[in-house]
Amino acid sequence: MDWKQASHIAFALTFIGIGGIGFASGTFAPIWQPVPETVPTRELLAYLTSIIALACGIFLLVERTQAVAALILFVFLAVWALAFKAPFVVKAPLVEGSYQSIGENLVLIAAAWVLYTRSRTRIAYVLYGLALIAFGLSHFFYLELTTPLVPAWLGVPILWAYATGSIYTVCGVAMVLGLAARLASLAAAANITLITLLVWVPIVAAGGLTAMHWQETVVSCALMVSSWVLASGSPPETGWLRRPSPTRR
For every residue of 93-151, DSSP letters joined together read TT-HHHHHHHHHHHHHHHHHHHHHH-S--HHHHHHHHHHHHHHHHHHHHTHHHHGGGS-
User: Does 248 fall in a domain?
Assistant: no
Number of domains in the chain: 1
Q: Which pLDDT belongs to residue 238?
A: 61
Tell me the whole-structure pTM to 2 decimals.
0.91
Residue type (1 letter), 113? W
User: Does 136 fall in a domain?
Assistant: yes
User: Does 133 fall in a domain?
Assistant: yes
Taking residues 63-78, what's their average pLDDT?
96
Task: Determine the structural domain holding residue 22 and report its residue range.
Answer: 3-238
Question: What is the per-residue pLDDT across 177-226, written as a single tens digit (0 to 9) for each?
Answer: 988 889 999 999 999 999 999 999 998 888 877 888 889 999 999 999 99
User: Does 90 fall in a domain?
Assistant: yes
User: Does 246 fall in a domain?
Assistant: no
Q: How far is CA 212 from CA 15, 22, 32, 175, in A?
A: 20, 16, 14, 30
Question: What is the per-residue pLDDT across 97-131, written as a single tens digit (0 to 9) for each?
Answer: 899 999 999 999 999 999 998 766 789 999 999 99
Question: What is the per-residue pLDDT across 8-38, written as a single tens digit (0 to 9) for each?
Answer: 999 999 999 999 999 999 999 999 999 999 9
